Amino acid sequence: MKPLKIIISALLCGTVLLSCSNLDLSPQDEASTGNWFQTVEQFDMNLNALLLHQFWPQERNEWTSGNQCELDALTDDFTNRTTMITFTNGNLNGTNPVVTQMWNVTYTGINRCNKIITELKKAGEEKLGKDSYDRIMGNALFYRACFYSRLLMHFGDVVVVDEDIDIDTEAGRDAAYLLERQDRWSVLEDVLADFDQARLLLPVQYSGSEVQRATQGAALGMKARTALYFASVRKWDKSGLANAGEAERLFGVAAEAAKSCMDLNVYTLHQDFGNLFLQSTKNSPEGIFVIPRSKILSNNSKYQYLNGQSCTAKLSRLSGASSCTTVCPSWDLLCCFLCTDGLPIDESPLYDPHEPFKNRDPRCAYTIVEFGTKHLGVEYNPHFEKTTVYSDREGKDVTNNDSRSYLIEGTSNAYASYNGLVLKKGIDNDWLSPFEVEPDKKILRYADILLMYAEAKIEMNDIDQSVLDAINDVRSRAYGVDRSSDAYPAVTTTDQTELRTIIRTERRMEFAFENLRYLDLYRWRIAGKVMNFYNYGLPKKDETLQRAYLDNGMWFHGAVPQIDENGCPDFTVPPAKGESTFFTNYAITLGKRVFDESKHYLWPVPTTTLEVMPNIEPNPGY
pLDDT, tens digit, for every residue of 343-353? 999 999 999 99
Q: What is the largest CA-CA distance in the chain?
A: 80
CA 306 to chain centre: 16
Bridge partners for 444 per DSSP? 289
Amino acid (1-letter code) at residue 378: V
Mean pLDDT of 180-188: 98
- Residue 113 near residue 144, CB atoms below 8 Å: yes
Q: Tally Cβ neighbours within 10 Å of residue 481.
A: 13
- Residue 142 near residue 148, CB atoms below 8 Å: no
Q: How far apart are CA 429 and CA 279, in angstroms?
A: 10
pLDDT tier at 2 (50, 70, 90 boundaries)? very low
CA dihedral 57, 63, 68, 74 (to 10 degrees): -20
User: Does the pLDDT of residue 11 top 60, yes or no?
Assistant: no
| % of the chain surpassing 70 pLDDT | 94
| Higher-pLDDT residue of 69, 370 | 370
Q: What is the pLDDT of residue 129?
A: 98
H or E element in which residue 307 lies: strand 306-307
pLDDT tier at 3 (50, 70, 90 boundaries)? very low
Q: What is the pLDDT of residue 210?
A: 82
pLDDT digits (tens, 9 = 90+) for 205-227: 998 878 889 999 999 999 999 99
Q: How far apart are CA 479 and CA 474, in angstroms?
A: 9
Mean pLDDT of 380-395: 98
What's the pTM value of the predicted model, to 2 decimals?
0.95
Q: How far apart are CA 560 and CA 578, in angstroms?
A: 6
Q: What is the pLDDT of residue 34?
A: 53
Three-state secondary-structure class, residue 77: coil
Q: What is the pLDDT of residue 1?
A: 29
pLDDT digits (tens, 9 = 90+) for 524-551: 999 999 999 999 999 999 999 999 999 9
Residues 6+ away with beta carbon under 8 Å from 36: 28, 30, 42, 46
| Closest of 395, 444, 398, 431 to residue 309, by C-alpha | 431
Tell whether the torsion through CA atoms of 72, 77, 78 and 84 is positive or negative: positive
Q: How far apart are CA 14 and CA 261, in angstroms?
A: 31
DSSP for residue 53:
G
pLDDT digits (tens, 9 = 90+) for 477-520: 999 999 999 999 999 999 999 999 999 999 999 999 999 999 99
Mean of all residue pLDDT scores within the chain:
92
Q: How far apart are CA 120 and CA 568, in angstroms?
A: 49
Mean pLDDT of 388-404: 98
